Structure formats: C-alpha cells, structure tokens
Amino acid sequence: MKKIFSVDPWKVTEMDMHPQDNRLAESVMSIGNGHMGMRGNFEEDYSGDSLQGTYIGGVYYPDKTRVGWWKIGYPEYYAKVLNAPNFIGIRTAVDGVNVDLAQWDVENFERSLDMRRSCLQRSFTLVDNSGRRIDVAVTRFLSRSRREVGAIRYAFTPKDHRADILFTPYLDGDVYNEDANYGEQFWSHVSQSADSSTSCLTMETKKTAFVVSTAMRWSLDGADPDRTDAGEKQSYVENQVQCRAEPGQTVTLTKYAAVTTSRDWPSTETEAMAVQRVNEAYEAGWDSLFDEHCRAWKQIWTEGDVVIEGDDEAQQGVRFNILQLQHTYTGEDPRLNIGPKGFTGEKYGGSTYWDTEAYCLPFYMSTMDHSIARNLLLYRYNHLEKAIENASKLGCEGALYPMVTMNGEECHNEWEITFEEIHRNAAISYAIFNYVRYTKDKQYLADYGYEVLLETSRYWADRVSYQPRKDVYMILGVTGPNEYENNINNNWYTNTMAAWNLEYALEVRSYLRQHHPERLREIEAKRNLHEQEPEQWQVIRDKMYKPFIEEHGVFAQQDLFMDKEQLTVDQLDPDDLPLNQNWSWDRILRSVFIKQADVLQGLFFLNDRFDQQTKQRNFDFYEPRTVHESSLSPCVYSIIAGEIGRTDKAYELYLRTARLDLDNYNNDTEDGLHITSMAGSWMSIVYGFGGLRVCDDQLHLNPFKPAAWERYAFKLVFRGHLLRVEIAEGKAKVTQEGGKPVDIVFLGKTVSVPADETLEVDLH
C-alpha cells in the first residue's frame, strides 16, 4: 500500500509533491470550522489534476435526478453539496512569470496539516528557468472562534536575487461541481465590487436561492507595495499588489476572507455583513485571529483528546479523525447535520445518512455537552412530516426517514438504496433510545421522541408481510446494511431492528401513560392513533421472523445466504480487492462477500441481549466473509472482537478504521474523507478497548490494553460528570474532574468515583 504521509502524533505531512495523488492529498489536508470548509487546494495556480472544493454548511442544489429508467417513488432530485465561490486564490507572478506549481520546478515541497492548531501549512522552493530560488511559506486556517472568517498568510523570500513579485488575491464565483448530473453550473451572479483594499462577491444558488457573499481584504508586510490595483469581471474580483524583494528579504501577503449566507442573514444584508466581518478580521490582525483560533482548539483537545503512547500510527489516526469530525460539525447550528464527506468532497451529495445516528451520535454524546446530541435528534424530529411524505410516496403508512437528505426529503436515486435500505428507520429510533439511556433525559421522549417512535412503528407495521403458513411476519425485498446484497428477503438485522423499534415504542408509550398521561393523549390525538395499532405492534413484534442457520448456530444474514458458495476473503486473489472496483455488480451480488457489518451491527446495537458465545459464533462466521469495503465496517467488528477476547483482531481492525483515509485503504479517499465513519475509530477505542456500555442505568467500563500500546487515555461526559479513563500496563484509572461522586461499574465492580479524585484498579 502506497503511503505518502509521514507519521506524527500531531501532524499529517506530505513530503514532496505527488501529482498522481494530488486529489488524495487535497482530501486529507481539508480544513473546516462547522460553518464552512475546504479541500487542501493550492492558493496559486495549478494546471495539474485537482478537485477544487469550498463548501458551506446547509447550502445545496437539487440537481435533477438522472436515471435510465424512471421508477414510481424516485425522488425528483439528488441534492448536491455545492462547490462554493473560491476565496483562497492568490495568483502569483515572479519577474513577470506566473507561478503554476505544475509547470515550475519545485524543491523541498511539504504540505502539512497541523492537527493541534487546525491549520494547513505549505513550504517549498520555486526554481526559475535561470536556476534562481525563492522560498515560499503558506499558512491557512478557518477560524474556530469567528465561524464566518478565514485567513491566509503567504510569504515569499528570494534566496539569491532581487525579485519583482505580483500578488493577485481574488474571489471567483465561476465554479462548478464535477458531479453535476447535466453539467449545469449551480450559481447565478448577483453583485460584485472591488477597490484597492476590500472586494466582495455575491452569488445565489439556482432553484434554492441561497445567497452567499464573500469578502476579502489584504495587507502586506516586509515591503511597501509599488503598485496596487483592483479588477473585476462577471463573477470574479481581484486585487493586484506589486512589490519588490531583495535577496533574503521576506515579503508576506495576508489575505482575510469572510463568508456570509442568507441562512443566517436576510439576503439583502449578506454583502454588508461579509464586508463587516472581513473588516473586523483585518482590524484584529493575523496574530490576534490565529491566537484566538488556537485557544479554541486547545480547549477542544483538552476536553476531547484520545491519548495513545507507544504507537504513533494509532495516535495520529484517531486524532486525525477527531479533528475532521470537529471540522465538520460543532453543534452550534441545529439545522445542520453530518455529511459522509463533510467539507472534503462532492461525493454522496446529501447532508445526512443513517451514519449520523449509528456512528456519530455516540461520539458527540460522550465528548460534548448533551445539548449537541439532542440537536442531532431534533434535526430528525423536525423532518418527521417529510419522513411521512417519503413513506407515502412508496405507498406506505407512517414515517420512512430518507437515506440521503438535506431538508427531510429523500434525495437518493439508486433503487436498491432509496426503496430497499429501510433499516435506516430503526437507526433513527435507536438513536433516541441510545440518547435517553446515556443522558437519562426522559423528558425528550415526551417532548419529541415518542412521536418519531409512533410513526416509524406505523411504517414497520405496514411494511411487513404476514406469512400464514408459518404464522410469522416477514420483511421482503430489502437491502440490509450489507449493500452487496440487494432485493433479498428477511435480512436478520432489518427484521430484528424493526421488531425492536416496535417494542421500544410500546415501552415508551407505557412510560408516558404512567408519567405523562396528558402529553400521551395529546400526541396520540395529534397523530390519530387508534388503540388497535399498538396492539398490532405487539403481535408483529412477537411473531417477527428472524432467520437462523442451525448448522452453524448463527443468525442468517438473509433467507438464502447459505445458498451462496461459502468462500472466505482469504481465498480471494488480492488483485480483486476492492471488489467494487474490480468485479461487476452482478458478480458481487451473487457472491458471499459482505461489504460491511450486518448481523454484527445488530449484535453491537442490542449488545446486552446476546451472550458471549452468540457473539463469538457470529463473529467467527461473518468476519472471514467480510471485505470491509464500507468505511462503516471495521469499527463494529473491532468492538465485538475486543468484547469476545480477540484483542489482536480488535487492534488490527481499529488501525483500519483509524487510518482508513490516511492510508487510503479502499482506494477512494481522493473523492473526499469518510467523515461519519471517523467516529468509528473513537468508538473502537472507547467502546472496544475501553469496554464502555450503559446498562441497568449505570455506566460500565471494562477496559483492556492493546499489546502494541504502552498507555492510552480518553475522556467521557456522562450525565454531567467529566471522567478521564487511563489504561496502562496492569493498571486502570478513572478520574473525575469536578462534579459530584458518581457510581460506575468498573471491571465488573460497582465503585464510587469522588469529585476531583482518582480511582486505580488492577487489570485482570
């Protein structure tokens, strides 16, 4: 496996230029601040291969669906996260020759993501046709403390000659998406202005009418400008700053930028607010802006870092993933969610999948204030009526949450996903259960949760098929979490989670009847629930068919799984991997090979319902058949492996999920990072190696230490308590920072952790 990044606990560095892997490096070097983000593109011109990408949270375009054969129920559009106006551009010319990194000789190139401070840095030496050299150093960040602001510091130092330098910072709205279904540009020009100090460009999305204003301002240090000018054309504005540098003299252009949108301001005010924000940034200056940004990130790492000693690859991997999760979602805007690519690429379009509830919620729930996780649930509650519409379009009652969405509408147009991957509904319901179990915020059930559970239960009750010959309920024509099987019957995970969804809805209904009877009556009147419906939910739950393979003592992934040729991954030619890039879809669907955790996903979700032997048998049967070609897969297997004592396998799978993008395991990172699965590396440590579970209304920790590590530590926010867990050779410690005494189950024993004290326990 080709590796182009160095290993360092706090940095990811690309040593030397890799033109053939530039898109990969651009993905890995992405930065963001929750409001916006961008790929690690170059500021100067680059005529080589590149995917230019700047993205703004919640700004999208409904690109008309493109399919060969229209099917009833298809969504009208596929939502696209838009490549937004480019504000990082700084065209540069030296002695009248434009700098293009694909055309100039470049020495000592280094592109580095500083994870501690969340900034992108580059340094290199330009060599002109006469062999003269110029050192270049660039730093870029998107402010964590001022979410609409970003800044770039661009420094030139001629080493052996006097150089005339022309900096041209610009804003460019003439951008497009590579994944546009019909090659359409998604932006319309609104207005622009440019003078010698401050420029602004305002664009509007077609159809959705999001107005985005981008303003810039510059300063020059190390020399006085010989000439300044401004220029503009349709959807483009620039400044020109001419200066001269003597040998060894450093000249630095600082570019300040601000991005405001009509999501936050009236559309008539976005331009004025962008100019105000960029002027505020300019007045503050680079040092002050960067210092406050670094202080914000210091706080993030103080509260949410995972520390690993003795294994720099493992340490770098989990920090990289935590960094990119924080780049993508901060919880400040409840209208936003977590996209599979975040702000790092165009692929997968929509802002949220079921990944958020299944993978990301535990991370945010345990590392930040519980209001952040609540906002993720409210995002779905606020889309409940759209989920009901989605079910109706497919001819079903109740609510079917979308596979891909921006505003609650389904906007995914692959039939095996849109119509069949209905297990996503149970992930929404499970997230409610998981949140309430962890936080004890039962008020959420009365305020919002039960309505979602009621309507998802209605969907399951309508979607099942009764089989009178066997007196069971079945779910036919589905795709389970394993997307390498389509249109199969009775996926064990889907059936099991549907039955669980019905059971939990009944349990919550009983709770509300006892503790919030008036609210229950209000909800059921609003939803026009008839008494026979919950009675039917119970019948379906009791009679749900769950396929089983007697000869192996394991749950059958689906009815006909054993009719396939029972090969294992070690029997594959390594050149065939990844299968989705080397095999036809027909061959994949007929094979036994599993893309991602399916049965194991259910064992993880409903963990306390299955004994160790059951988990062991299913792991041993399914893991050898799993190719882990979904980024969501290795972490689940890692967690179960740790639980059943397969610690070496747990560590191997942890490294795969932690370094999925850094090592480009699935050969697809050039499209963008796998943001939602990044939470899986955190779960592999905290739920896997740390053994976190919540059962019997208590926090359980049953940690072990991977053999490759000397020590590791992580923090948890649990019901108002901040706990630090540390595991070293032979010892495990739990420290509470502040708070009040809290009881937890630690290595099988109930202990009380005092405020501001540490408990130390011998590992088994």
pLDDT at residue 184 tops 70: yes
Q: Which residues contact 289 (CB under 8 A, 6 or more apart)?
A: 143, 146, 149, 151, 256, 281
Q: What is the pLDDT of residue 350?
A: 67
Please indicate, yes or no, if residue 227 is contained in any of the structural domains. yes
Cα–Cα distance for residue pair 694/19, rounded to 1 Å:
48
**Region 525-541 average pLDDT:** 98
Q: Is it the case that residue 553 has pLDDT exceeding 80? A: yes
Task: Indicate whether 448 belongs to any domain.
Answer: no
In the residue annotation, 760 being an active-site residue is answered as no
Q: Does residue 743 lie within any of the structural domains?
A: yes
Q: Does residue 724 form part of some domain?
A: yes
CB 555 within 8 A of CB 562: no
**Residues 6 or more apart from 475 whose CB is under 8 A from it?**
422, 463, 464, 465, 489, 490, 491, 494, 495, 498
Angle, nearest 10°, between helix axes 492-515 and 424-439? 40
pLDDT at residue 533 in the model: 98
How many structural domains compose the chain? 2
695 in any annotated domain: no
Domain boundary among 276, 304, 332: 304
Strand order in the sheet with 97-98: 97-98, 90-94, 163-172, 236-245, 227-233
Task: Write down which residue in 275, 304, 333 finishes a domain.
Answer: 304
562 in a structural domain:
no
List the alpha helices (DSSP H) in 330-449: 355, 361-367, 370-381, 384-393, 415-418, 424-439, 443-444
Mean pLDDT across the chain: 96
**pLDDT over 70 percentage in the chain:** 100
Q: Give 707-718 pLDDT, tens digit per residue.
A: 999 999 999 999
Collapse the DSSP code of 672 into the 3-class scheme (helix H, G, I; strand E, B; otherwise coil) and give the result.
Answer: coil
Is the per-residue pLDDT at 68 higher than 80? Answer: no
Confidence check: pLDDT of 69 > 80? no
Q: 722: domain CATH number?
A: 2.60.420.10
What tokens were used for 640?
């179960």
CATH assignment of the domain containing 159? 2.70.98.40
- Determine the Cα–Cα distance for residues 193 and 642; give it in Å rounded to an integer: 59
Neighbours of 302 (CB within 10 A): 9
Q: Which domain holds residue 745?
A: 711-762
Find the catalytic residue in 455, 483, 485, 643: 483
The DSSP H or E segment spanning 273 is helix 270-304
pLDDT in tens, 641-700: 999 999 999 999 999 999 999 999 989 999 999 999 899 999 999 999 999 999 999 999
Give which of 641, 476, 634 is closest to 569, Cα–Cα. Answer: 634
Judge whether 745 lies within some domain: yes
Final residue of a structural domain among 256, 275, 304: 304
33 within a domain of the structure (yes/no): yes
Q: What is the mean pLDDT of residues 339-352?
A: 88
Q: Is the peptide bond before 754 cis (omega within 30 degrees of 0)?
A: no
Does the structure show a pLDDT above 70 at 9?
Answer: yes
Tokens of 394: 């497919």
**Distance between CA 495 and CA 473 in Å, rounded?**
9
